[in-house]
Structure 1
Amino acid sequence: MQKRRLGQGGPMVGAVALGTMNFVGTYGETTPDDALRCMEACLEMGVDHLDTSNVYGMGRAEELLSRFLKIRRDRVVLASKCGITRNPEHPFDNSPDHMRQALEGSLRRLGVEHIDLYYLHRHEPGRPIEEVMQTLLRFRDEGKIGAIGLSEIAPGTLERALSAGPVAAVQSEYSLWTRQPELGILQGCARAGAALVAFSPVGRGVFGDTPPDPNAFGDRDLRQGMPRFAPENWPRNLARLTKFADYARDHGHSPAALAIAWVLSRGDHVIALPGSRSIAHMRQNADGAAISLTHAQLAEIETILPVGWAHGARYGEAMSRGPQTYC
């Protein structure tokens, strides 16, 4: 596994990380033992950066991860997040008291005294990011967190945050399926020496060996409310995805590996963050870190999946409330 730096002066980590949201039923049921086996296999592949949040399964993902950290803490770069409340009337809270409570809860559930990278999961509208950075800097000075990360923010927010202190990583959805970070966050991170941690680099599973069937989504499947999977959009999207999958296999790669390789080709500061509970799927994801794409191949991929090709918005109305828009 190739290594990439997690922010200026940060640790070197695998170019492919592992997100744990899938371990708590976001895309279907799984078992704790399956999740633990997946994490162990990932570590052997060189996937040593594990990402979670206090709201994944309302803390259950962190509790599950604690079982793995008991025996593997020294080999893992650990990231978690705060700032989402799951309260429909007040979904985001970046107040010092709430963030303190969230951090202490995460430390307790994870069974650790220190989180290597701690993200603001969503920025609360109306609260200055400089104020939020001061809270995070206090946590860092206390030794409870290492580096500071921000998630789903606009380039202007990153610029203001950097005026208050260092930002090691920005987490944004980024893939051949969703390319908004190219409108400023990708470049802003490069200028700041921050890592762009690209979540959903295989597009909510659309770059898997078998594209998902929206008719088979369970009630708890996060994709239920995503317009790109709606009947009026999915057939058009599937036609393009099929062409990409054929192209990947013609070149000896799985669609997932090629999709990961494309994400990593966008800059040396980009880290791919797929979430999977399947060892087989994570092997394909990790394979993407070994693929070097030529200029000709990148141009061919662009012809198959040109920027803006996907039909439908990435999020429905409810999920669109948190990510900052900037275009």
Structure 2
Amino acid sequence: MASEVRRIKLGSQGLDVSVQGLGCMGMTHGDGPPKPEADMIKLIHHAFNKGITHFDTSIIYGPYTNEILVGKGLKGLPREKVQLATKFGVKPLEGGGTEVCGDPEYVREACESSLKRLGVDYIDLYYVHRIDTRVPIEITIGALKKLVEEGKVRYIGLSEASPETIRRAHAVHPISAVQLEWSLWTRDAEEEVIPTCRELGIGIVPFSPLGKGFFGGGAKLMENLSSNDYRRTVPKFQGENLEHNMKLLERVGELATRKGCSTSQLALAWVHHQGDDVCPIPGTTKIENLESNIKALSVKLTPEEMAELESIASANAAKGDRYPPAMMAHTWRFANTPPLSSWKAT
């Protein structure tokens, strides 16, 4: 069966991926209770059979349970045809809670524990999930570089990293991908972060390209969220912010109707049209949504339609932060690390 999903080079270091990945977080974490394991394994296999080979997880999703599930889902698939991405840096604490940790000892400990949970010998793309502002990024990347040399990691990535952090990291070992939130209602990375990635030949992996499901569900999304869904805490989904953002959604929906596609397909197509160095990882737990996301690849937008979308959803069009305050503190604008000269190894 011919693949429905084309392939791209992600970054300039040789990593080859499907142009659309699958974000696996919601299978066990964040979006309400964990979903049935058998159904999620079926979803992963369905994605692979459609040509999606780039699967994204993290230690903190669960914690731990998402990596275990993804490992089960990938078991039996040809390992050399899968690009497995996971992340460390948001460290689960005993008794609950988390801390951001980039200590070199933890880098190795986290990697080796992920390899066991995933049931693999190497991780294709290993991300620093959040930047530890206590540890110079050079120290964290130096530890990752050793894991690359040992064959446990193939390519290194950063998530929620500032331009300065990206440059400093890339000087220690080439960074293949930067993961960031990018969608029609989250465009703050366009001014500095994305140009920095392009200057350095680093691939761009947008998470939440559908606005955390907003462009798929709109107001109904909020009605159907479980009580422990993290999106209930996101300012963009609350009160006057949501009312304002619904107007944006309606205008995008009008253009989608004219295009003969769904609003979510149009929003995802906009991300895909940003360039051949962009690989969004929309998450889903339903095969029908996966199919819809794949169909977004065949939605072709003219320059005029791109301009219309960008005027509707300009950089400041949406209202509200993308995370509650405690989580915003760990996003790229606030996450620079101290200079290397300040580091004293313990």
Q: TM-score when scaled to structure 1? A: 0.95
2:64 counterpart residue number: 59
Greater mean alpha carbon deviation, residues 313-322 or residues 84-93 = 84-93
1:246 Cα deviation from its structure 2 partner: 2.4
1:85 Cα deviation from its structure 2 partner: 1.4
**Alignment partner of 1:247 is 2:252:** no
Correspondence for 1:9 among 8, 13, 25: 13
1:71 counterpart residue number: 76
Asked whether the equivalents of residues 206 and 212 of structure 1 are also in contact (C-alpha less than 8 Å), the reply is: no
- String of CA shifts for 1:232-252, please: whole Å, max 9, x gaps: 211111121022122112211
Unpaired runs of 5+ in structure 1? none
Give the distance between the partners of 1:24 and 1:89, measured in 2 at CA: 17
1:114 counterpart residue number: 122
Structure 1 letter corresponding to 2:176: A
Structure 1 letter corresponding to 2:230: L
2:201 counterpart residue number: 193
SS of the aligned residue for 1:97 comes to helix
Greater mean alpha carbon deviation, residues 20-29 or residues 118-127 = 20-29
1:213 Cα deviation from its structure 2 partner: 3.8
Greater mean alpha carbon deviation, residues 188-197 or residues 136-145 = 188-197
1:221 counterpart residue number: 229
- The 5 Å alignment of 1:17-28 reads 17-28=21-32
Greater mean alpha carbon deviation, residues 153-162 or residues 64-73 = 64-73
Asked whether the equivalents of residues 26 and 283 of structure 2 are also in contact (C-alpha less than 8 Å), the reply is: yes
1:302 Cα deviation from its structure 2 partner: 1.8
- String of CA shifts for 1:133-169, please: whole Å, max 9, x gaps: 1011011011100000000001111111111110000
2:182 counterpart residue number: 174
Correspondence for 2:86 among 80, 85, 88: 80
SS of the aligned residue for 2:175 comes to coil
Give the distance between the partners of 1:124 and 1:71, measured in 2 at CA: 36
Correspondence for 2:267 among 259, 265, 279: 259
1:314 Cα deviation from its structure 2 partner: 1.0
**Alignment partner of 1:47 is 2:73:** no
1:69 Cα deviation from its structure 2 partner: 2.0
Correspondence for 2:168 among 141, 160, 168: 160
1:95 counterpart residue number: 103
1:54 Cα deviation from its structure 2 partner: 0.8
Asked whether the equivalents of residues 107 and 115 of structure 1 are also in contact (C-alpha less than 8 Å), the reply is: yes
1:209 Cα deviation from its structure 2 partner: 5.2
Structure 2 letter corresponding to 1:78: L
1:15 Cα deviation from its structure 2 partner: 1.1
**Alignment partner of 1:268 is 2:276:** yes
1:25 Cα deviation from its structure 2 partner: 4.0
Give the distance between the partners of 1:202 and 1:23, measured in 2 at CA: 17
- String of CA shifts for 1:194-232, please: whole Å, max 9, x gaps: 110000000010111554443543232111211111112
Unpaired runs of 5+ in structure 2? 336-346
Asked whether the equivalents of residues 206 and 279 of structure 2 are also in contact (C-alpha less than 8 Å), the reply is: yes
Asked whether the equivalents of residues 155 and 326 of structure 1 are also in contact (C-alpha less than 8 Å), the reply is: no
Asked whether the equivalents of residues 2 and 290 of structure 1 are also in contact (C-alpha less than 8 Å), the reply is: no
Give the distance between the partners of 2:254 and 2:191, measured in 1 at CA: 29
Give the distance between the partners of 1:218 and 1:150, measured in 2 at CA: 30
Asked whether the equivalents of residues 2 and 289 of structure 1 are also in contact (C-alpha less than 8 Å), the reply is: no
Structure 2 letter corresponding to 1:14: S
Give the distance between the partners of 2:54 and 2:145, measured in 1 at CA: 22
Asked whether the equivalents of residues 11 and 176 of structure 2 are also in contact (C-alpha less than 8 Å), the reply is: yes
1:90 Cα deviation from its structure 2 partner: 6.3
Residue 324 to residue 59, structure 1, CA distance change in 2 (3 Å) = same
Residue 160 to residue 113, structure 1, CA distance change in 2 (3 Å) = same
Give the distance between the partners of 1:25 and 1:98, measured in 2 at CA: 23
- The 5 Å alignment of 1:273-312 reads 273-312=281-320
